[in-house]
Chain A
């Protein structure tokens, strides 16, 4: 049996829909329950629903053989997992956003509020800009508004939240979509099962994207 960890939230439904088309489906009843681990109808797969940033943790330890999670999380956690498929769902970008007039450092240091400290540090590091990274766990848009930071590095889907808080994207760091990730050992030890899942999913993707 393969255990698949799915990031709860944004991409959960799209991911389950893709898997359903690949012949892996969970009953509505099981989904409606509050159980965090459910089996699919064939008994070949078990799903666990976890916080996005926990997906790479379960997969790296091999507790989950596979996972569906955004590239943003993989970059931030520097997860050591295999990424055989870009599922092209949950499309968004990681961007630098600021109020129009405030995107300059105070006293030579740029103050950056973010949920993605590693990505932010790497980005400004590559530009040679000295930064102070202020790690927040939510409502990052508030930081420049209240003067905690000069800018933010955050996930942008539509840009509406930014707009409503008087911020705009000044620079896109990278694009992100959901990926199928696989544990390194499972890829070898359960080669047949993992291979079958990858090929079923890729034919669904080919059909969808033409």
Chain B
């Protein structure tokens, strides 16, 4: 017989303290979503591959575990939740009043990992979606939720949420008149913070040297809200200006709420440009080598499911957060988070169970010998 000691790559068990921390983190985050009026939604674990292909794009969707249904149609183990929520918004909730507020805690699966550090093939996502409003206060709402969530988890001093708006890049790339291929290369250079390669690339396509140097300087900008002033001086097109205007509003918003410490601007965050349409943000925590959460505005997504409407959302990677908190942190699981239990051992079977039952009725933790 085949030995079953092996576990497939990227899969794992949780038990003991780590399992308790994980449960408590999930409860705390879902509590925050609930507190802001987000309704929990559970989506199918298995769905048509075409749904995810439309929802996430081909590149991401093809990382999923795929198999066929009895009628030959291609199925996938869900690689994300947002696609499915967007479909529900356009169909099941088509006539529900807007805005819709949904939250979820769900495992997603990837057959192929994104990078070496990202080895997990099962990841539990805690996320929320705010659908049907394109006002900037919706953007502010999810940022405030994200920061409340991190504060509840005791991560406020060790976290950073970086903000960008895709219009900054799109406006500049449009103005430079790049074709699709060179635009993608430009995006890769900026994403890798490779200023020299960016300059080289743009010099090949763009005649105006000052325009190249402005684009290179712009891509380097990251830091506090003050970099937006510098960014304004470097752009002249309306799209980029509007995007910078949005970031300014959001910075003022978080500042007035006393939250600016955990936020910073990162104009070189240009991943996911084909997916997001406005604000984009990433969540980093000390101790994790990669981002632990990300989100943004995706006003085009629901159009894939027959009803175009604005939407914004984000996810937190529960497994990554659990790993950091379980290693030590200020967050202590509140309910049922203890190891200690009264051990019931004396007496006859009936007596023992009577004692156990009465202790349980008082809410005590017990363990039968």
Contacts and interface: CB of A to CB of B under 8 A. Distances in A.
Contacts of B238: none
B190 to A, nearest CB: 10
B10 to A, nearest CB: 15
Contacts of B197: 83, 86
B290 A184 contact: yes
Interface residues of B, number: 27
B192 A82 contact: yes
Given A188-B160, A188-B264, A189-B160, A84 B195 contact: yes
A184 B288 contact: no
B266 to A, nearest CB: 7
Given A77-B116, A188-B162, A62 B193 contact: no
A57 interface: yes
Interface in A152-167: none
Contacts of A77: 116
Interface in B125-170: 158, 160, 162
A183 B289 CA distance: 7
A81 B264 CA distance: 20
Interface string A59-85: 011110000000000000111111111
Given A184-B290, A185-B289, A185-B290, A191 B264 contact: yes
Given A56-B116, A61-B289, A80-B115, A182 B266 contact: no
Contacts of A186: 289
Given A60-B289, A185-B289, A83 B266 contact: no
Nearest to B224: A191
Nearest to B200: A86
Nearest to A81: B192
A45 interface: no
Given A84-B194, A86-B196, A189-B284, A60 B117 contact: yes
A78 B285 CA distance: 24
Interface residues of A, number: 25
Interface string B273-298: 00000000010111111110000000
Contacts of A61: 116-117, 289
Contacts of B322: none
Contacts of A82: 192-194
A103 interface: no
B83 interface: no
Contacts of A63: 289
B116 A57 contact: yes
A183 B287 CA distance: 12
Interface in B187-240: 192-197, 222-223
B353 to A, nearest CB: 50
Contacts of B345: none
B114 interface: yes
A189 B286 contact: yes
A185 B162 CA distance: 11
B117 to A, nearest CB: 4
A56 B192 CA distance: 14
A80 B194 CA distance: 13
A154 to B, nearest CB: 23
Contacts of A79: 115-116
A184 B196 CA distance: 18
A78 B116 CA distance: 9
A191 B196 CA distance: 20
Contact of B117 (A80, A182, A187, A188): A80
Chain B CB within 10 A, most for which of A62, A79, A185: A185
Contact of B288 (A57, A84, A185): A185
B35 to A, nearest CB: 27
7 contacts: A60-B116, A60-B117, A83-B192, A83-B197, A182-B193, A188-B222, A188-B264
Interface of B: 114-118, 158, 160, 162, 192-197, 222-223, 264, 266, 282, 284-291
Given A61-B289, A80-B117, 17 more contacts: A61-B116, A61-B117, A62-B288, A63-B289, A79-B115, A80-B114, A80-B115, A80-B290, A83-B193, A86-B196, A185-B291, A186-B289, A187-B193, A188-B222, A188-B266, A189-B158, A191-B264
